[in-house]
A and B are shown apart, each in its own frame.
Chain A
Amino acid sequence: MAGELVSPTPTLRGSARRAAALRLLRRRLIQAVPLMLGVVVINFCLIQMAPGSFLELMTAENQVSDPATVALLRKTYGLEDPVWMQLLKYIWALLHFDFGFSYRQNMPVIQAIWIHLPATILLMVSSITLAVSIGVAAGVVASMKVRTLWDSLVSVAAMFFYAAPSFWLGIMMIVLFSVKLGWLPVGGMMKIGGASGGPVAGVIDILHHLILPTLALGLFYAAIYTRVMRSSMLEVAQLDFVRTARAKGLSRNKVTIHHVLRNALLPVVTILGVQMGTVLAGSVVIESVFSWPGVGSLLFDSVSSRNYPVVLGIMVLGSLVVIAANIAVDLIYMWLDPRIEIR
């Protein structure tokens, strides 16, 4: 959805930019309606096509053998309706912000997701913040010291963290920092039973638990940002306006920060927008290695148990996040490069 960039154009200023931004917002929101409908229909149909159902699994786990009980359960869960009717009912419920009921967790879907959401948001925000910070900084350093030892070091490190499987990296970090050195906890989000010493101690405890999963996940993303940032910086540095800035006698740092960096950030923002979609789904692997109680674990369990209402709920919410993130990306484009008009 992000994109359709038209540049260069005469720079939009003041009220014209605000009006353009509002137009963009309105257009994107209108486009979001069929997009969401498509997401719901496709995901619903894909899930229906998968062999096995949550009812079969539930009766299996509960050893329900009585046909009358199975029929009652089918009716209770609305499975006796034809698929198209189930889809229409689901869409109607969604329009009323009802994501359905998870019979596995015995609670509304939104509540099941909500329980796991804070952990996922915390992990993803921290890891993406780390990734962008390190990635942008390392990319800038590599581009400024191109074909030097620094450039080589950054490139090798980026390649290593990009290539290393995150579960392996996570386990290695646990072995080193938790088992051997005893500096950081092995897993979980907080000390069981809560940290003694009040809310501040609680926050510190969570941050303590957050370090390793953030590093394991963030360094992978940082590797991507580093590579993108380096090449983007080198590309922008060749453009005419940078040469002009240098010709005006601006210092190297000033040219790099005010002219090259700002424009080189555009691809990073693009990737950031795309990765926002993974926020809600979380990282199944990292959550598994570090016992992080996030949405990724919930999604994995839900797929394994064919808990369709929860899977659909996560998909729909994930799609909403992607749409919101892409709108935000479009607006950030306009802010970063006033020449850009998004049609």
Chain B
Amino acid sequence: MTIKVSRRVFGAGVVAAGLVGTSGQSLAQGTPRRGGTLVATWGGGEPQACYVPAGGGSSPTFSSSKLFERLAKRNMDGTFEGVLAESWKPSADFKSYTVKIRKGVKFHDGKDMTVDDVVFSVGEIWKKYAAASALTDFAGIEAPDAETVVFNYKNPTPEFFFASTLCGIVSYIVPKHVYAGSDPVTNPANNAPIATGPWKFKEWVRGSHFEYVKNENYWKKDQPYLDRLIIRYVRDPAGRAAAMEAGDIQIGVFNPVAPPDIKRLTATGKFVATPKGYEEAVWSTTLECNMRNPIFAKREVRQAMFHAVNREFIAKTVYYGYARPGTSPIYSPNKEFFTADTYKINFDPKKAAALLDAAGYPKKADGKRFTLNLLSAGWFPENGKVGAYVKQVLEDVGVGINLTVPDRPSSIKRIYTDYDFDLAISNQANPSEPVPSTTQYFTTDGILKGVPFRNASGYSNPDVDKLVDRIKVETDPAKRKALVFEFQKITTQEAPLLPLVELESITLASTKVQNHSNDPNFLAAGWGDLWLAS
């Protein structure tokens, strides 16, 4: 269920891209028109495989999500809807969930999808790869009849959590007859998947594109509306802009072009840009303190790091205004769990200096209190710019900074394996359900050496651990919400890791493309309902 940080470089502009509100025409108009080919791209590169069982980042998620399907999906209004599951309901003690599986669904090779495929997918793929961290309490799955599967848990499991698990980013139902008895990671079918989705794999021309064709036997009888879907990879953002302008590509997701090109293309009236469709994958740029450095043992020092930083400035300058200050580890678009009632880490250099003084780190004769190594993860170009700014403002309050911006593999190794940093600028993308995708950055069990995008700060607080354990098992939605609010209050005050800014991702599409951006994680949606106006 965790939305993993893409390892692909965004290219110029990247997350900076964004136009507040949808410019151009509406996203869905009239009666769907059948036929045609849609050529799509995204703001990153080609995936390592069409389908990576454990996710593998945004690129394979983009390519695989058009072929595979999940048991459920989340709608724009926040409700859950069955996809390969028709319905689900918890037991009285919330320790098991009974899921009715959709009948009449066939894989692309003509074989029926059965409960055996569901049991295999959950037990062998989700548990081991796709949703391992979300299934720590999972006790097994069984199929009492040909239409039902029962998920069993060791502890009471909240409904929102369970439904979110069904919607997990790569919680796909895979064909047992293709994957059973093989290593799922190296199965050749990963490069030519057989699945149940609206699109059938036809061809992968490496270095160029995927070609998918309409699944004539798709269980939604009227979909897909289009005949063919091409996912084309253009490494250079300027090249993407040119290809879109020339009409070679009709839609680009996840910041396909640089901000000036978004404005230029939408100004022609032939394109529409929208930040919609990323509500379940909100990105942030974070700053984290390495608790292994004794300087950070005092909370005041950690708080001072954040008080010294003007987040508005970062949002406006580094991200061209297309980001907003982050105030909590739960991001502001999260309607279920976000609260603004947290510890306020406002831009206040005087307070930062006072906190450092109070912590016992006054300025020395050379004007410095102490010196830190700041590592800015080099997978996004903006991180380096944020790092340069953070260095400047921390030096203003007397903290010496040695800034490095290593490339992607080096950053991963230094932050998550070697813990070779004092302060790190990194990125996260989290869905609405906070467990475990958000909480694992703060809990002790999230400290996993060598595992990226977990608790690299080394922050360990028994109170937070207990609180998260309660969030995991609280089945009353109101009480659970209150616990998550409390989690936000504690973590913002403790400040081992916090977002500096929440980023806004953009989809750019030709005005001919209809029904796009209609899913809270549009990049990972099936796209069977997209169509082209004449």
Contacts and interface: CB of A to CB of B under 8 A. Distances in A.
Contact of B408 (A57, A115, A292): A57
A290 B239 contact: yes
A258 B224 CA distance: 68
Given A70-B450, A187-B234, A294 B207 contact: yes
Contact of A106 (B39, B49, B235, B236): B49
Interface stretch (A10-18, A26-34, A61-69): A61-69
A304 interface: yes
A51 B239 contact: no
Contacts of A174: 239, 242
Interface residues on A, range: 35 or more
A64 B54 contact: yes
Contacts, number: 158
Contact of B412 (A56, A65, A294): A56
A61 B45 contact: no
A189 B209 CA distance: 11
A82 B277 CA distance: 48
A270 interface: no
Contacts of B186: 103, 106
A62 B4 CA distance: 9
A119 interface: yes
B248 A186 contact: yes
Interface in B177-196: 185-186, 188, 190-191
B208 interface: yes
B32 interface: no
A222 interface: no
Query: Chain B CB within 10 Å — which of A62, A105, A171, A298 has the most?
Result: A62
B371 interface: no
A291 B235 contact: yes
Nearest to A284: B235
Nearest to A119: B207
Given A65-B448, A115-B206, A294-B207, A56 B246 contact: no
B209 A192 contact: yes
A62 B185 contact: yes
A208 B454 CA distance: 49
A332 interface: no
Contact of B234 (A60, A62, A291): A291
Contacts of A306: 409
A102 to B, nearest CB: 10
A142 interface: no
A179 B242 contact: yes
A155 interface: no
A289 B2 CA distance: 33
Interface string B405-420: 0111110111011000
A59 interface: yes
Contacts of A292: 207
Contacts of A189: 208
B242 A171 contact: yes
B57 A56 contact: no
Contact of A291 (B49, B239, B416): B239
Interface in A58-97: 59-65, 70
A116 B232 CA distance: 16
A62 B54 contact: yes
Contacts of B207: 115-116, 119, 291-294, 297-298
A178 interface: yes
B238 interface: yes
B48 A305 contact: yes
A235 interface: no
Interface string B38-52: 010000011011001
B230 interface: yes
A175 B261 CA distance: 13
Contacts of A179: 242, 245-246
Given A52-B412, A64-B451, A179-B245, A192 B39 contact: yes
Given A56-B450, A305-B48, A65 B132 contact: yes
A215 B2 CA distance: 45
Contacts of B417: 56
A333 to B, nearest CB: 37
A288 B240 CA distance: 11
A197 interface: no
Nearest to B130: A63
A71 to B, nearest CB: 11
Interface in A186-235: 186-189, 192-193
A182 interface: yes
A337 interface: no
B188 A62 contact: no
Nearest to B202: A193
A48 interface: no
A60 B209 CA distance: 25
B456 to A, nearest CB: 12
Contacts of B233: 291
Interface string A159-170: 000000001000
Contacts of A244: none
Interface string A219-259: 00000000000000000000000000000000000000000
B55 interface: yes
Nearest to B228: A193
Contacts of A116: 206-207
A273 interface: no
B211 interface: yes
Interface in B227-270: 228, 230, 232-236, 238-239, 242-243, 245-246, 248
B54 A63 contact: yes
B205 A288 contact: no
A307 to B, nearest CB: 9
B45 A301 contact: yes
B190 A106 contact: yes
A178 B245 CA distance: 9
B52 A293 contact: no
Contacts of B248: 185-187
A293 B210 CA distance: 13
A275 interface: no
B56 interface: yes
Contacts of A103: 186
B238 A289 contact: yes
B55 A61 contact: yes
17 contacts: A51-B409, A61-B55, A62-B52, A62-B56, A63-B4, A70-B450, A105-B49, A171-B236, A178-B242, A182-B246, A187-B234, A289-B236, A291-B232, A291-B233, A291-B235, A293-B205, A301-B45
Closest 6 CB pairs of A and B: A293-B207, A52-B409, A62-B54, A60-B452, A65-B451, A51-B410
Interface of B: 2, 4, 7, 9, 37, 39, 45-46, 48-49, 52-57, 129, 132-133, 185-186, 188, 190-191, 205-209, 211, 228, 230, 232-236, 238-239, 242-243, 245-246, 248, 406-410, 412-414, 416-417, 448, 450-454
Given A116-B206, A174-B239, A179-B246, 9 more contacts: A56-B413, A57-B408, A61-B52, A70-B450, A171-B242, A188-B209, A289-B239, A290-B239, A291-B233
Interface of A: 50-54, 56-57, 59-65, 70, 103-106, 115-116, 119, 167, 171, 174-175, 178-179, 182, 185-189, 192-193, 287-294, 297-298, 301, 304-306
